[in-house]
A = this chain, B = another copy of it.
Amino acid sequence: MTRAWNFSAGPATLPLEVLQQVREDLPEWHGIGASIMEVSHRGKAFSGVIEAAQADLRELLAIPEDYEVLFLQGGQTLQFAQVPMNLLAGRSADYLVTGAWSQKAHREAARIGKARLVASTEENGKFLRLPDIDALKFDENAAYCHLCTNETIHGVEVHEAYEAKLFEAISAAAPGVSLVADMSSHILSRPLDVRRYGLLSAGAQKNIGPSGMTLVIVRKALLGRAAAGTPTILDYRNQADNGSMLNTPPAFAIYVAGLVFQWLKAQGGLDAMAAINREKAKRLYAAIDNSEGFYKNPVDVACRSSMNVPFTLPSVALEAQFVQASEAAGFIGLKGHKSVGGIRASLYNAVPLEAVQALVRFMEDFRETWRRRGASR
């Protein structure tokens, strides 16, 4: 039995310790005579699991008391609809489009109500940067302002400095307007000032746990605005009033997420994770930038993602060879998203530094082999 170096974009690698614990908890969890998947979500065993998961997450992200933490279903894609259903309240919302995911969010909101495009960084079908904050014109009467803080496909990330500046800008220009963010692919990768957001959400399958659970953190003051006809279960207020258990929750996914939160605490929390994540990204981008143009990442250096690193090779044929050779060498998940091609390495929390070191060595070897072949021709 061997574990591959897994760079999948999501569903993504989980900490080995977490998987071992899941294995140990089968077929019986903590002496209760059943696994945690097989008991009432209202019983003592599972109540303890979900409460601990919420408490650990609150601690990790320092979530203030006036925010609800919800564990829902449907993925971030359902959030693209659920956010406007809950928050528009007949008004218009502002959208920043910086990649495929924020574009989807904007289009979905426009199907449900009024969604204004504040800025799009799309140029010739590519997304390579974040918009100039000073040039943004916010709608003072907007229901909220939506962004995606890490574009999984395009590898564009809102880092702390940009985030702080954006928050200051919107607070000054549109004081009543809350930021709402899709943080699916970088939540928990660094400390976060939750107060900068009215709502933030994330599909679990990158940095939280297995797919099938969606995290929503929402300021309590924003609850209770859902449009008439919103399905009962999609009204955040109803889920908040019922501790995320208006109906049967995705129990296994919540249990594994809870184990991941414990693992993150054991690693030293988000400051420690941020330091490791910075180091991982630094090494991979250095390998790309020092490859004499063999590997290329086109994203503006200031907003290169530390979680998702897309890069290209000199030809599509070489990229296919790279993927094939990487799989033979024990790597998983390096093929780029089908919409953009190329290569993508996702460096989520559970990807260890050793995996990145191995990838960098592989990239150097692959380039060296290619160079020698060229020389011999």
Say whether A13 faces chain B, with CB atoms less than 8 Å apart: yes
Question: Scoring A residues 249 to 286 as 1 if CB is less than 8 Å from chain B, else 0, what string do you get?
Answer: 11111001000000000000000000000000000000
> Given known contacts A38-B6, A112-B231, is B251 in contact with A210 (CB within 8 Å)?
yes
Q: How far is the CB of A159 from chain B (nearest CB, A)?
A: 25
Most buried by B among A11, A14, A73, A332: A11
Q: Which residue of B lies closest to A330 (CB)?
A: B33
Q: How far is the CB of A348 from chain B (nearest CB, A)?
A: 10
Q: Report yes or no: A38 in contact with B75, Cβ–Cβ below 8 A.
A: no
Question: Scoring A residues 24 to 46 as 1 if CB is less than 8 Å from chain B, else 0, what string do you get?
Answer: 00111000111101111111001
Say whether A375 faces chain B, with CB atoms less than 8 Å apart: no
> Given known contacts A26-B23, A251-B210, is B6 in contact with A34 (CB within 8 Å)?
yes
Chain B residue contacts of A39, Cβ below 8 A: 6, 8, 11, 332-333
Q: Report yes or no: B6 in contact with A33, Cβ–Cβ below 8 A.
A: yes
- Bound together, the chains give a CA A76 to CA B158 distance in angstroms of 37
- Bound together, the chains give a CA A295 to CA B76 distance in angstroms of 48
- Bound together, the chains give a CA A166 to CA B83 distance in angstroms of 41
- Bound together, the chains give a CA A43 to CA B333 distance in angstroms of 9
Say whether A9 faces chain B, with CB atoms less than 8 Å apart: yes
Among B77, B251, B338, the residue within 8 A (CB) of A11 is B251
Chain B residue contacts of A252, Cβ below 8 A: 210-212, 252-253
Among B26, B76, B249, the residue within 8 A (CB) of A247 is B76
> Given known contacts A2-B33, A35-B14, A250-B253, is B40 in contact with A8 (CB within 8 Å)?
yes
Chain B residue contacts of A256, Cβ below 8 A: 37
Question: Scoring A residues 305 to 341 as 1 if CB is less than 8 Å from chain B, else 0, what string do you get?
Answer: 0000000000000000000000000101100001000
Q: How far is the CB of A299 from chain B (nearest CB, A)?
A: 22
Q: How far is the CB of A150 from chain B (nearest CB, A)?
A: 16
- Bound together, the chains give a CA A39 to CA B346 distance in angstroms of 12
- Bound together, the chains give a CA A9 to CA B108 distance in angstroms of 37
> Given known contacts A77-B233, A211-B41, A248-B75, is B35 in contact with A19 (CB within 8 Å)?
yes
Q: Report yes or no: A26 in contact with B19, Cβ–Cβ below 8 A.
A: yes
Chain B residue contacts of A75, Cβ below 8 A: 73, 233, 247-248
Q: Which residue of B lies closest to A252 (CB)?
A: B210
Among B34, B78, B210, B248, the residue within 8 A (CB) of A37 is B210
Q: Report yes or no: B2 in contact with A28, Cβ–Cβ below 8 A.
A: yes
- Bound together, the chains give a CA A22 to CA B85 distance in angstroms of 38
Q: Report yes or no: B78 in contact with A250, Cβ–Cβ below 8 A.
A: no
> Given known contacts A2-B33, A11-B251, A248-B11, is B20 in contact with A232 (CB within 8 Å)?
no
- Bound together, the chains give a CA A125 to CA B3 distance in angstroms of 56
- Bound together, the chains give a CA A108 to CA B20 distance in angstroms of 42
- Bound together, the chains give a CA A23 to CA B35 distance in angstroms of 11
Q: How far is the CB of A289 from chain B (nearest CB, A)?
A: 27
Task: List 7 A–B pairs whose Cβ atoms lie within 8 Å, in order of A's numbering.
Answer: A26-B26, A37-B211, A73-B75, A73-B212, A77-B233, A81-B234, A211-B250
